[in-house]
Amino acid sequence: MHYQVDSWGYYMPARSMGSDPMERVAKLASESAVVIFSLSSCCMCHAVKRLFCGLGVNPTVYELDQDPRGKDMETALMRLLGNSQAVPVVFIGGKLIGAMDRVMASHINGTLVPLLKEAGALWL
Amino acid sequence: MNVPTGLIQQEGSAFGFGELEEAIVLQGLNIRNDEAKAPLFGTGRPAATLEMFPSWPMRFKQTPRGSSKSGGGSTDSGSAVNTISSKTENQLEPESPISTKNTAPLDHQQEMMASDVSRTGQEKRRGSTSEKQLDAKTLRRLAQNREAARKSRLRKKAYVQQLESSRIKLSQIEQDLQRSRSQGFFLGGCAGALGNISSGAAIFDMAYSRWLEDDQRHMSELRTGLNAHLSDSDLRIIVDTYISHYDEIFRLKVVAAKADAFHLITGMWTTPAERCFLWMGGFRPSELIKMLISQLDPLTEQQVMGIYSLQHSSQQAEEALTQGLEQLQQSLTDTIAGGPIIDGMQQMAVAIGKLANLEGFVRQADNLRQQTLHQLSRILTVRQAARCFLMIGEYYGRLRALSSLWTSRPRESMMSDEHSCQTTTDLQMVQPSQNHFSEF
């Protein structure tokens, strides 16, 4: 698991700081095989992280409470999921998988592991 | 000695000494009057109580009701006093030398008996000739005895009626309790008295008990479906209905988790034995699969792999949720334990906020359970799925029965009877269990 801290806005003022948070989410999601948006205080986020680690996956985690634009991204994710809870939310291979319930359903019905393999997050 | 038949016929088994004494006294007086001979009992006026056990043997004589002269034929001799309480129309007739000599007193007595329909009015007439012989004191005593005997009879009748209705009520309560216990919860009223069940929990408990009744119905459908060797498509309908039935309880649990997550997570909605195996407010999916694996033979190789894969995935998901819940615990402990309490209310508010996450974990656990059951039905054939769900239903049914037996087992330490034992035990079980949430 590795944590990404966004410092681009600092070095590249030309890049719009007010870019659409949803765009930002999509962009970040596409940059790694497995991306988890999380809050450091959230226990369910901890659970989903443990799940992927248990599978042998190394997900990229963005703690939105530690991101200057985290609040906006949270709102955007809430809208995306149609849910009052923005996190945890998982992207695999740039595609939205969903919140914890979708991730677990996917694991139980056996579709999660093939997705992970397809995205290159798992070998074997 | 003849006892007025009216007395016997009216009261049946509730014969009291009041009447006997009176009858004996009056009878003795009648004979004395008619005889004008030496007193029968030698000592002059006999003590009333001694006359209950006359010195000569008594005879039974059959007398049809209302007939005045039945002749002399006595049948057999019998014992005296203790036959008075029979409901037959037998009369006692002393086989005394005196009565055989005199038919007149017999007739006189039979006249008395024939005309004696109601006690109260006739008694005075019957005793009219001899009343003057009785002094007021005796009369008063006799009247008092009559009254006392009557009251005693009424009291006894009322008591017996009360006992009967209490018995019926008790058996009804026992039935209710048994039903509730087998379903593993206390109905709102009883638990309300203990003050430890929320309305959301009570609502869920009622819905769950209905669900259990439906479960029985569905299971018998599965059974008959399997035994009837239905076509696969017909059986599929039954199996899908059963899966929907399970989907329903998971929907109900979503609502209950929002209202009272503690109620679900402490297992107060289930029976003690089920509670023993409780994981995050319900059954542990991997344990259920482990239980089923050995009974699901024969399985194809692909099915075997599918089932083991399901068990493995379930275990991984369970582990992840458990670790998430442990972090919640840790976070909660950090909030409320140790250190100086700068702002107690603030601390509590934060703690409450964290506790609210409990709902999420119970929901995810139920989601896992639901997904597992769905996946099982996908891996198995229709017939296998039908048998599988039947096995699950029967397993939990047995667990619930085990709980019932456990709670109703006799305790040597209890002095009172078993029923009060059960109530006490149930109370004991409720109280400690309320602390379970502190271990979550």
pLDDT at B176: 83
Average pLDDT, chain B: 75
Partner-chain contact B367 A105, CB within 8 Å: yes
* Phi (first) and psi of residue A97, to 5 degrees: -95, -50
- ipTM attached to this prediction: 0.88
**Helices and strands (H, E) in chain A, number of each type:** 6, 5
Using alpha carbons, list the distances in angstroms from residue B275 to B179, B378, B433.
Answer: 18, 29, 10
CB neighbours of B149 closer than 8 A, spacing ≥ 6?
A: B16, B17, B18, B19
In angstroms, the CA B152 to CA B164 distance is: 18
Given the structure tokens 């209710």, which residue do they identify? B176
pLDDT level of residue B88 (50, 70, 90 thresholds): very low
In angstroms, the CA B282 to CA B249 distance is: 11
Quickly count: other Cβ atoms within 10 Å of residue B280's Cβ. 23
A26 shares contact with chain B (CB less than 8 Å):
no
Given the structure tokens 């001799």, which residue do they identify? B77
pLDDT level of residue B93 (50, 70, 90 thresholds): very low
Across the interface, of B317, B325, B357, the residue whose CB is closest to A108 is B317
Beta strands across the sheet bearing B58-62: B77-78, B58-62, B90-94
SS3 B253: helix
Average pLDDT, chain A: 88
pLDDT at B20: 62
In angstroms, the CA B99 to CA B104 distance is: 9
> Which A positions 31-50 lie with beta carbon below 8 A of chain B?
41-44, 46-48, 50
Chain B interface test: which of A38, A104, A113, A116 (most B C-beta within 10 Å): A104
Inform me whether the pLDDT recorded for A56 exceeds 60. Answer: yes
Partner-chain contact A101 B324, CB within 8 Å: no
SS3 A91: strand
CB neighbours of A7 closer than 8 A, spacing ≥ 6?
A: none
Which tokens go with B72?
């002399």
Query: Long-range contact list for B262-267, CB < 8 A, 24+ apart?
Result: B262/B358, B262/B437, B263/B197, B263/B198, B263/B200, B263/B201, B263/B204, B264/B204, B264/B362, B265/B358, B265/B361, B265/B362, B265/B436, B265/B437, B265/B440, B266/B433, B266/B434, B266/B436, B266/B437, B267/B433, B267/B436
Report angle CA A112, A116, A118 to the nearest 5 degrees. 115
Using an 8 Å CB-CB cutoff, list chain A residues near B314.
108
Across A80-103, average pLDDT: 94
Asked if B181 contacts B403 with a C-beta cutoff of 8 angstroms, the reply is yes
Can you give the three-state secondary structure of B336-348, one letter per residue? HCCCCCCCHHHHH
pLDDT digits (tens, 9 = 90+) for B24-46: 666 665 555 555 444 444 444 54
- Min mean pLDDT across B63-77, B102-116, B383-397 is at B63-77
More confident residue, B311 or B174: B311
Q: Indicate yes or no: pTM above 0.95.
A: no
Which tokens go with B340?
């100086």
Across B326-353, average pLDDT: 83
Partner-chain contact B317 A50, CB within 8 Å: no
User: What is the maximum span of chain B, computed from C-alpha positions, in angstroms?
Assistant: 115
**Rg of the Cα trace of chain B?**
40
- Min mean pLDDT across B316-320, B345-349, B356-360 is at B345-349
| CA closest to A46 among chain B residues | B324
pLDDT digits (tens, 9 = 90+) for B161-184: 999 988 888 888 888 887 776 665
In angstroms, the CA B186 to CA B188 distance is: 6
Across A62-72, average pLDDT: 94
Which tokens go with B196?
């430890």
| CA closest to A103 among chain B residues | B317
pLDDT digits (tens, 9 = 90+) for B247-285: 999 999 999 999 999 999 999 999 999 999 999 999 999
Which of B210, B178, B209 minimizes the C-alpha distance to B401? Answer: B178
Distance from the B367 Cα atom to the nearest Cα atom in chain A, whole angstroms? 7
Chain A interface test: which of B330, B354, B371, B373 (most A C-beta within 10 Å): B371
Partner-chain contact B325 A108, CB within 8 Å: no
pLDDT at B318: 98
More confident residue, B335 or B378: B378
* Burial class, A43, CB count within 10 angstroms (exposed 0-12 / middle 13-18 / buried 19+): buried
